[in-house]
Structure 1
């Protein structure tokens, strides 16, 4: 037996209508979703018991440079030269036995005086006529050195100070030579003292028995910093 379908019961004929109805419903849902706004909520009571956490704000600072130190008073003082004591350990004794002579014997002692010879290479520590500097003595030279010497910057920055002791020779032609460092707290101080001595003008040379001789001097220079 063949089953017959009613044309009205065939849903395929209504497919277009159902599609339009579905699109309309979807569009209404989308519009309703955009139109919906949530209700505003208000805080009726504030909890005053809640602890307020304060966060410390740390400023970002750069490392400050050290403030400039107050200027220090620098003093370079040329003091009196060191005393050098030169001793002669050679003893000359003459023994005469007077028992070999009677009372009538005349004793005549002849002493030969040898002429003093001056060695060219050996400088004198003390001469009959000491060298002179610009018409003055060693004190004049000390003042000249004190006016020309400068405190080395590297020694000043490192707090180095002290006494430099130098020795030098005044030649027969008045030049200042043979500068030697006998004592120094730092190389920078001794180099500054040597620099000044090398600039020394010529001296008037010393004399011994009317002969021009070399004379050796010792000169201390004090480098001091006073706050």
Structure 2
């Protein structure tokens, strides 16, 4: 009886566990994903918009500022948050510009719009 229990614990149990993990991974791999587009282009168009709208006089010191935001299924910029703060003035300006951002064309999976999160860094150098 002990031999059967040991056999089950070391041979059959890991096989069941592996098949469950394999099944979960398949859920995330199905379907073609198309990235969100900003003004008909990609992140380069967004960077151009950001550089035009951002008031660089609000930046008081060199360093890195990083924000994360979600592009929802309607193409709106939502859930804006600062991940890495440089100073309060530049973070506030970054949020202002993101709130002013026009709609994106949402990302898609299997032809249906999906929401995605984008992390966007800005690095400021000393003059």
Q: TM-score, with normalisation over the residues of structure 2? A: 0.72
1:141 matched to which residue of 2? 46
Shift of 1:222: 1.9
2:9 matched to which residue of 1? none
SS class of match (1:92) = helix
Q: CA RMSD in A?
A: 2.5
2:37 to 132, 152, 160: 132
Shift of 1:224: 2.6
> How far apart, CA to CA, are the structure 1 residues paired with 2:113 and 2:86?
36
Query: Per-residue displacement from partner, 1:107-148 (whole Å, max 9, x unpaired)?
Result: xxxxx9xx959xxxxxxxxx7011100000011101110111
2:3 matched to which residue of 1? none
Shift of 1:209: 1.4
Query: Per-residue displacement from partner, 1:34-90 (whole Å, max 9, x unpaired)?
Result: xxxxxxxxxxxxxxxxxxxxxxxxxxxxxxxxxxxxxxxxxxxxxxxxxxxxxxxxx
Q: Say whether the 8 Å CA contact 1:166–1:218 is kept in structure 2.
A: yes
SS class of match (1:225) = coil
Q: Say whether the 8 Å CA contact 1:166–1:181 is kept in structure 2.
A: yes
1:27 matched to which residue of 2? none
1:78 matched to which residue of 2? none
1:194 matched to which residue of 2? 95
- Gapped regions of structure 2 (runs ≥ 5): 1-16
User: Aligned residue pairs: how many?
Assistant: 104
2:68 matched to which residue of 1? 167
Structure number with the higher strand fraction is: 2
Q: Say whether the 8 Å CA contact 1:164–1:183 is kept in structure 2.
A: yes
Q: TM-score, with normalisation over the residues of structure 1? A: 0.42
Larger radius of gyration: 1
> How far apart, CA to CA, are the structure 1 residues paired with 2:35 and 2:121?
19
Structure number with the higher helix fraction is: 2
